[in-house]
Amino acid sequence: MLDATKLRGILPATPTPVTADGTIDVAASKALFSWLFRQGIDGLVPLGGTGEYGALAKDQRIRFAELSVEAMAETGAGGGEKRGPVIAGVLDTGYYDALSAGRDFAAAGVDGLLVLTPYYTNPTQAGIRDYFLRYADESPVPILIYEIPYRTRIAIDPEILHELSRHERIVGMKACNTDMYHFLRTVAGVDPSFAVLSGEDTLFPLQVAAGAKGGIVVTANLLPRAWRLIHDLASTGKLDKALEIHRTLIPMMNMAFAETNPGPMKSVMDLIGVDAPAMLAPLREPAEPLKRSLRRELSRLLVTYEGMPAAQPV
């Protein structure tokens, strides 16, 4: 059973490789998982915003959840315990659709669900609290709260998060609120059985130093070893060194998020052996100048942090 002790380290928010017809590209998906496992990640978080949840057909979401579970199970030595958890995103607007999706993913074998704050309806804080308590009571697997107010326009008061953290089946959260004081207030009062994970590549070392147990990191798909190094430094009191390395990633992050994620990232993933740049409507592949600039920058960083020859696929 998933609990906070398993929510540690680097858990990439994985993109969903798709073909031109919008179905899962199985070969590219397996190549992505293989790359990540070779670099030493601690879990997978498929089907969030980076995974283009809202654009994928329902059956394709379930298929990608299944592939993620199968890939993680294969990493256990000699058929033993798998390397880490698979936590599937649930980004539906309404409660019943969200619960149905969570049940489908649980049937596919995921260990937990990353449940987005209810949006569009503009709920009160009491409504948000009730939503997550009810979901946790009915979910077949433990859940994490996904707070990302710059996408949903819904923030959760730290006091509500403190209350939710005491529910035995709410085991953590992905913190994408860029207000660091909000983050500090949240970490200060959550239950010990609850793991706060950084959800912001741009703030990751600060959030780890302030109490995050790890992170659900987008660009860890491209540079998992670099993010592991930053995590290990920040979590052991070496924040100055963690920030020094993080600064070397800032130009890459600026480009990776210059157009809507995951478009820029997908366009250069052939450099790590994952050739699946197709996007799902309404998103589209990024502009050519951005692709070229990001490709140059990622090639340089792969040499520095992953020991790979410049501009060569795995």
Give me the helices (H) in the chain, please.
Answer: 26-39, 58-73, 95-108, 125-138, 149-152, 158-164, 180-189, 204-209, 224-234, 239-248, 250-256, 263-267, 288-301
In order of their start, the domains of the chain are 4-239 (3.20.20.70)
Q: CB of 52 within 8 A of CB of 262?
A: yes
What is the per-residue pLDDT for 29?
98
- 169 sits in the region (left: phi over 0; alpha: psi -120 to 50; else beta) called alpha
Site of tokens 């478009």 = 263
The pLDDT value given to residue 312: 44
Q: Is 268 exposed, middle or buried (0-12, 13-18, 19+ CB in 10 A)?
A: buried
Amino acid at 310: A
The mean pLDDT of 282-308, rounded to a whole number, is: 95
Is 49 within 8 Å of 114 (Cβ atoms)?
no
Q: What are the angstrom distances between the C-alpha of 155 and each of 42, 123, 177, 244? A: 27, 10, 7, 30
- SS3 of 196-250: the string is EEECCHHHHHHHHHCCCCEEEECHHHCCHHHHHHHHHHHCCCCHHHHHHHHHHCH
Task: Give the confidence band of 310 by pLDDT, cuts at 50, 70, 90.
Answer: low
> Taking all residues of the chain, what is their mean pLDDT, rounded to a whole number?
95
**What is the mean pLDDT of the segment spanning 101-124?**
97
> Does 12 sit behind a cis peptide bond, omega within 30 degrees of 0 on the bond before it?
no
Range name among 72-81, 83-92, 112-121, 275-284 with the lowest pLDDT average: 72-81
* Residue 209 to residue 240: CA distance in whole angstroms: 10
pLDDT at 307: 83
Least reliable range by pLDDT among 18-32, 125-139, 268-282, 299-313 = 299-313
Dist. CA 148–CA 156, nearest whole Å? 9
The residues carrying an active-site annotation are: 146, 174
Task: For 192-239, write each residue's pLDDT tens digit.
Answer: 999 999 999 999 999 999 999 999 999 999 999 999 999 999 999 999
pLDDT of 128 > 60? The answer is yes
Distance in angstroms (rounded) separating the CA atoms of residues 113 and 238: 32
What 3-state DSSP class applies to 137? helix
State residue 40's pLDDT score.
92
pLDDT digits (tens, 9 = 90+) for 32-75: 999 999 999 999 999 999 999 999 999 999 999 999 999 998 75
Q: What percentage of the chain carries pLDDT values higher than 90?
A: 94
